[in-house]
């Protein structure tokens, strides 16, 4: 799945370029890719649990016995899975406590292929729990196929390059219709919940066509940070504050279980007249600080380590079937995303955080990766050793770099915490600007050159390992084919 996603991401950006659209920001890719790694790690465990739950419910409490190989069983499964997804998705929008989990997905102010996997861990749990009662009616294999297909299908819905698809718009969900779902224009609010089919939206009055330029994002203020954990869980604080602020038991329950736009005296989902008109003259992004190029290169390399390393390790039984090691991997990715957010936000504590994160990687490497037994040929062990020792050396060099950066902070040579800086106009719109003097610009140039050099030198083993992984998979499939 990772190579396919990578191809689609590149293809989308190429089409955007020729359509004269803005390209996706680097920091959005990092947040979405990090969410994708968490998404996949969590989904492995949730799918395993879901399969056991589906089988247990179906074996012990099935209300009807539908033949697995009947076409009607599969069509019925498709309809009930889509029906359940529709109401689950709608509940995530119409109950404030559930919206707290789902708003991270809608916080994206640029809809692209990677937005598909921009989901919070709570969101994934909700999507795994709600379909469980379907096992009373449908054989588990049918359910799992349609649930997985529904997820895969939604990948292509998140883009801004596909236009009107004609008669298909009347039957299935399309990127044009899903862009409406992600809009914060008044006519887009609480519309188009379907995954594959749009029949339920049409039946229950939530269908809406694209009638004008759409501005993506949420109505509530977006946190001015790139810390993924704050973006994922920060809205729970708003829910709690709303719960504490309103008086009376009924109002407090409404603060949790009414819509995000509810207020005392308002309808359950809020008043659509309260949705402000979109101001097209404002910048596309509500938070778009200046980020030095050397930081982008640094994070690009460490992101490459995580994404390709995860792809290489993800299918290994050592991690796939070990909940303890999988949980350690999840905690490390959370730590990494928090640290990357601090780098983007230019926090004063970014140096000690990155130092500790790089040292944590070495522990992670020693206890989880170093002991892995790889089913590879003798000629590939050299490549693996080069790959791993290059990665270890890169993390040790990163520790040394951040020690020097930290020392420079102490001596007053580096400015941090840009959230306290005043806004200034740069380029096409208002952006948060990192405080840098002209002398520091030259220093950043040297940093950028050094980071790019290290990036290419250390990326080569990863690219070779990636190609080796593909060749190994092809060899495995060929061996299986000729055996049969």
pLDDT in tens, the chain (484 residues): 567 888 899 999 999 999 999 999 999 999 998 898 888 888 777 888 889 999 999 999 999 989 988 999 999 999 999 999 999 999 999 999 999 999 999 999 999 999 998 999 899 899 999 999 999 999 999 999 999 999 899 999 999 999 999 888 988 999 999 999 999 999 999 999 999 999 999 999 999 999 889 999 999 988 999 999 999 999 999 999 999 999 999 999 999 999 999 999 999 999 999 999 999 999 999 999 889 999 999 999 998 888 777 766 655 555 555 667 777 888 888 999 999 999 999 888 899 999 999 998 888 777 766 666 555 555 556 666 777 788 888 899 999 999 998 888 888 655 555 443 332 333 333 333 333 333 333 444 544 545 455 555 445 554 555 555 545 544 543 444 444 4
Q: Are residues 180 and 312 in the same domain?
A: no
Residue 95 lies in a domain: yes
Contact 416, 352 (CB under 8 A): no
Predicted TM-score (pTM) of this structure: 0.82
Residue 146 lies in a domain: yes
Tokens encoding 311:
């792809």
Q: Are residues 14 and 163 in the same domain?
A: yes
Tokens encoding 436:
């840098």
Residue 186 lies in a domain: yes
Q: Could you say which of 221, 243, 277 is where a domain stops?
A: 221
Q: Are residues 27 and 170 in the same domain?
A: yes
Q: Quote the CA–CA distance of 78 and 40 in Å, as a whole number.
A: 23
Residue 393 lies in a domain: yes
What is the per-residue pLDDT for 100? 96
Torsion of CA 282, 283, 289, 292, to 10 degrees: -150
pLDDT tens by residue, 93-118: 999 999 999 999 999 999 999 999 89
Burial (0-12, 13-18, 19+ Cβ within 10 Å), 279 = exposed
Number of folded domains in the chain? 2
Q: Could you say which of 193, 221, 249 is where a domain stops?
A: 221
Residue 27 lies in a domain: yes
Q: Are residues 162 and 299 in the same domain?
A: no
Burial (0-12, 13-18, 19+ Cβ within 10 Å), 440 = middle
Tokens encoding 169:
């718009």
Torsion of CA 417, 298, 116, 234, to 10 degrees: -20
Residue 450 lies in a domain: no
Q: Quote the CA–CA distance of 309 and 31 in Å, as a whole number.
A: 17
Q: Quote the longest CA-to-CA distance of the chain.
A: 75
Tokens encoding 460:
């080569």
**CA-only gyration radius of the chain, Å:** 24
Nearest to 200 by CA among 75, 84, 76: 84
What is the per-residue pLDDT for 316? 53
Residue 484 lies in a domain: no
Domain that holds residue 331: 293-413
Residue 281 lies in a domain: no
Q: Are residues 211 and 306 in the same domain?
A: no
Contact 431, 290 (CB under 8 A): yes
Q: Could you say which of 351, 380, 413 is where a domain stops?
A: 413
Q: Are residues 192 and 321 in the same domain?
A: no
Q: Quote the CA–CA distance of 19 and 310 in Å, as a whole number.
A: 33
């Amino acid at each position: 799945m990772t190579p396919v996603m990578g191809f689609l991401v590149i293809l989308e950006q190429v089409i955007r370029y020729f359509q004269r659209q803005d390209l996706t920001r680097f920091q959005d890719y990092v947040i979405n890719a990090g969410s994708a790694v968490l998404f996949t790690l969590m989904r492995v465990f949730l799918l395993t649990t879901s399969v056991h739950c589906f089988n247990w419910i179906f074996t012990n409490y099935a209300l009807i016995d539908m033949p697995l190989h009947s076409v009607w069983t599969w069509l019925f499964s498709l309809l009930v899975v889509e029906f359940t997804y529709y109401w689950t998705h709608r509940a995530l929008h119409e109950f404030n406590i559930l919206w707290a989990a789902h708003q991270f997905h809608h916080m994206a102010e640029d809809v692209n292929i990677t937005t598909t996997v921009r989901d919070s861990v709570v969101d994934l749990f909700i999507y795994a729990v709600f379909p469980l009662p379907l096992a009373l009616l449908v054989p588990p294999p049918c359910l799992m196929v349609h649930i997985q297909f529904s997820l895969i299908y939604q990948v292509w819905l998140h883009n801004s390059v596909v236009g009107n698809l004609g008669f298909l718009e009347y039957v299935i969900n399309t990127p044009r219709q899903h862009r409406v779902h992600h809009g914060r224009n008044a006519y887009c609010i609480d519309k188009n919940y379907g995954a594959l089919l749009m029949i339920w939206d049409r039946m229950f009055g939530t269908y809406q066509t694209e009638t004008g330029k759409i501005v993506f994002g949420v109505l509530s203020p977006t946190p001015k940070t790139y810390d993924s954990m704050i973006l994922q869980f920060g809205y729970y604080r708003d829910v709690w504050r709303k719960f504490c602020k309103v008086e009376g038991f009924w109002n407090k329950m409404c603060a949790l279980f009414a819509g995000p736009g509810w207020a005392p005296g308002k309808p359950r989902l809020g008043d659509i007249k309260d949705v402000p008109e979109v101001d097209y003259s404002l910048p596309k992004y509500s938070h778009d600080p200046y980020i030095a190029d050397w930081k982008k290169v640094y994070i690009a390399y460490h992101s490459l380590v995580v994404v390709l390393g995860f792809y290489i390790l993800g299918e290994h039984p050592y991690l796939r079937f070990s909940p303890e090691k999988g949980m350690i991997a999840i905690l490390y990715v959370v730590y990494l995303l928090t640290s990357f957010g601090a780098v983007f936000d230019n926090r004063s504590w970014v140096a000690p955080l990155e130092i500790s994160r790089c040292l944590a990687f070495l522990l992670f490497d020693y206890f989880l990766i170093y002991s892995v037994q790889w089913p590879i040929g003798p000629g590939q062990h050299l490549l693996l050793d080069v790959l791993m020792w290059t990665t270890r050396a890169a993390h040790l060099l990163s520790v040394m770099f951040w020690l020097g950066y930290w020392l420079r902070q102490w001596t007053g040579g580096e400015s941090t915490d840009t959230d306290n800086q005043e806004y200034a106009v740069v380029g096409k719109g208002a952006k948060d600007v990192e405080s840098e003097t002209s002398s520091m610009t030259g220093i950043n140039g040297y940093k950028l050159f050094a980071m790019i050099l290290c990036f290419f030198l250390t990326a080569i083993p990863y690219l070779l390992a990636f190609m080796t992984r593909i060749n190994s998979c092809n060899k495995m499939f060929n061996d299986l084919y000729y055996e049969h």
